[in-house]
């Protein structure tokens, strides 16, 4: 006697509801935004860094309170980083391996020139500021001439001028800093201030944020996002051969990018003289210098090292992320140990950004 077995039917999946479809769509959209929009990613990382550090502070794991007052006071160190990273943004997006390794040495030399003018020659502040800006512009023009007109690789050209500018900054006053009552009085122009009318409602923010950083941020944004020069700069950074056929003066546009970078460095020099109450010949070159952190922040902010891609918002957010991350590490590991961990964190962030770029390129065709 034979028995017949009924055929087994595969289990059927329950139908996907509209709520599940909407949830999956939102999740996919958020993932895409984080991977392809650097500004979104930086905002997420900023919230995570602030939240974790405040949690550690509330539970007594940090050596001091990580609160909004402390975060606001740390912005005094973020001002030169933001400004110099924007200078690197302008140079890097000009393409052909654009980079300015000499920017820290320009800060040192321009700061010494400002010190002579304001402290020793008795010039008015505005005249000293103008002289420092002109000095930085001239030094940037030399870089631009070597790169754009003579065709030197930017890495080699600005490395050579880094040595030259650094040497001039040291010998110009026999290796001595310039200080005095006039320069020491400038510290109040960048120090934390209780702002009139709203000062009691928000933490005290360094005055340099308003007098130095914000004007440069707005100026660079207008230049790149709203001006004809910005469109030309992005054009030569993306494809300078096509830009040449389109009638753009590639060499002149690239040369002006280096001049603008030098101009910003000249203004940063005055800020740092005020912050340190002294014009020091090694202001921008001591330790790892100012160039490497500025380049790191620019790349972390989404600036493509190949040129043609980069936004002001990404650079500003990356500078804030690095500043407040370093603040938390400093409170976790006081002393020299904290500084070493700050460098480690910076390296990890850069690798993380590079990995995300790779993932975004493979999955979505690139990031912005």
Separation between Cα atoms, residue 235 and residue 95, nearest integer Å? 9
Instruction: For residue 97, count other CB atoms closer than 10 A to its CB.
Output: 14
Separation between Cα atoms, residue 85 and residue 301, nearest integer Å? 9
Share of the chain above pLDDT 70, in %: 88
- Give the confidence band of 235 by pLDDT, cuts at 50, 70, 90: very high
Q: Phi and psi for 178 in degrees, rounded to 5?
A: -115, 125
Rounded to 10 degrees, what is the CA torsion of 291, 295, 300, 305? -170
What value does the mean pLDDT of the chain take?
87
pLDDT of residue 199: 60
Ordered DSSP codes for 154-174: HHHHHHHHHHHHHHHHHHTTT
User: Is the confidence at residue 14, as pLDDT, over 80?
Assistant: no
User: Is the confidence at residue 339, as pLDDT, over 90?
Assistant: no
- Inter-CA distances, 274 with 119, 172, 181, 202, Å: 12, 20, 11, 24
Handedness of CA 114, 120, 121, 122 (dihedral sign): positive
pLDDT of residue 196: 62
pLDDT of residue 198: 60
Q: Which of 305, 302, 307 is nearest to 242 (CA)?
A: 307
- Give the confidence band of 15 by pLDDT, cuts at 50, 70, 90: low
- What own/partner pairs with CB < 8 Å and gap ≥ 24 does 126-130 have? 128/270, 129/267, 129/270
Separation between Cα atoms, residue 195 and residue 321, nearest integer Å? 24
Contact status, residue 318 vs residue 297, Cβ threshold 8 Å: yes
Instruction: Specify the range with the lowest mean pLDDT, choosing from 11-15, 170-174, 223-227.
Output: 11-15
Separation between Cα atoms, residue 203 and residue 71, nearest integer Å? 9
pLDDT of residue 148: 94
* Mean of pLDDT values over 284-307: 87
User: Is the confidence at residue 352, as pLDDT, over 50?
Assistant: yes
Two structure tokens written together for 31: 């993932």
Separation between Cα atoms, residue 159 and residue 99, nearest integer Å? 10
Q: Phi and psi for 307 in degrees, rounded to 5?
A: 100, 160
Contact status, residue 67 vs residue 130, Cβ threshold 8 Å: no
Q: Which of 281, 307, 311, 283 is nearest to 297 (CA)?
A: 311
Instruction: Specify the range with the lowest mean pLDDT, choosing from 187-196, 204-213, 285-294, 317-326.
Output: 187-196
User: Is the confidence at residue 54, as pLDDT, over 80?
Assistant: yes
Contact status, residue 185 vs residue 291, Cβ threshold 8 Å: no
- Inter-CA distances, 36 with 42, 215, 239, Å: 11, 29, 22
pLDDT of residue 195: 65
Two structure tokens written together for 218: 């707005």
pLDDT of residue 200: 65
- Give the confidence band of 315 by pLDDT, cuts at 50, 70, 90: very high
- Give the confidence band of 22 by pLDDT, cuts at 50, 70, 90: low
Q: Which run of H or E residues covers position 224? A: none
pLDDT of residue 8: 56
Instruction: Specify the range with the lowest mean pLDDT, choosing from 70-79, 101-110, 122-131, 155-164.
Output: 70-79
* Mean of pLDDT values over 66-88: 91
């Amino acid at each position: 006697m034979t028995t017949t077995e009924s055929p087994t039917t595969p289990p059927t999946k329950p139908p996907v509801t509209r709520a599940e479809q909407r949830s999956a769509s939102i999740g996919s959209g958020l993932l895409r935004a984080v991977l392809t929009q650097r500004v979104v990613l930086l905002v997420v990382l900023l919230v995570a860094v602030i939240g974790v550090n405040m949690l550690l502070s509330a539970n007594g794991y940090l050596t001091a309170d990580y609160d909004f007052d402390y975060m606001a006071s740390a912005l005094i160190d973020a001002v030169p980083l933001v400004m110099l990273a924007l200078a690197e943004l302008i140079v890097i997006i000009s393409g052909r391996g654009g980079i300015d390794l000499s920017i820290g040495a320009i800060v040192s030399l321009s700061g010494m020139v400002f010190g002579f003018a304001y402290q020793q020659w008795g010039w008015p502040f505005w005249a000293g500021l103008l002289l420092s800006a002109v000095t930085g512009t001239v030094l940037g023009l030399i870089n631009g001439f070597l790169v754009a007109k003579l065709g030197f690789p930017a890495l080699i050209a600005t490395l050579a001028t880094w040595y030259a500018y650094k040497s001039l900054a040291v010998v110009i006053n026999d290796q001595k800093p310039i200080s005095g009552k006039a320069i020491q009085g400038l510290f109040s122009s960048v120090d934390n201030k209780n702002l009139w009318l709203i000062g009691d409602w928000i933490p005290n923010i360094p005055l340099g944020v308003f007098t130095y950083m914000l004007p440069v941020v707005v100026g660079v944004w207008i230049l790149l996002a709203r001006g004809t020069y910005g469109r030309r700069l992005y054009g030569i950074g993306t494809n300078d051969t096509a830009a040449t056929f389109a009638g753009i003066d590639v060499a002149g546009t690239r040369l002006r990018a280096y001049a603008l970078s030098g101009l910003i460095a000249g203004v940063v020099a005055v800020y740092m003289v005020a912050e340190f109450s002294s014009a020091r010949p090694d202001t921008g070159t001591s330790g790892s210098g100012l160039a490497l952190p500025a380049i790191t922040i620019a790349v972390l902010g989404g600036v493509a090292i190949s040129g043609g891609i980069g936004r002001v918002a990404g650079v500003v957010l990356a500078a804030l992320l690095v500043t407040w991350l370093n603040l938390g590490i400093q409170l976790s590991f006081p002393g020299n140990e904290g500084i070493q961990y700050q460098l480690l964190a910076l390296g990890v962030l850069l690798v993380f950004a590079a990995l995300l770029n790779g993932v975004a390129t493979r999955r979505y065709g690139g990031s912005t």
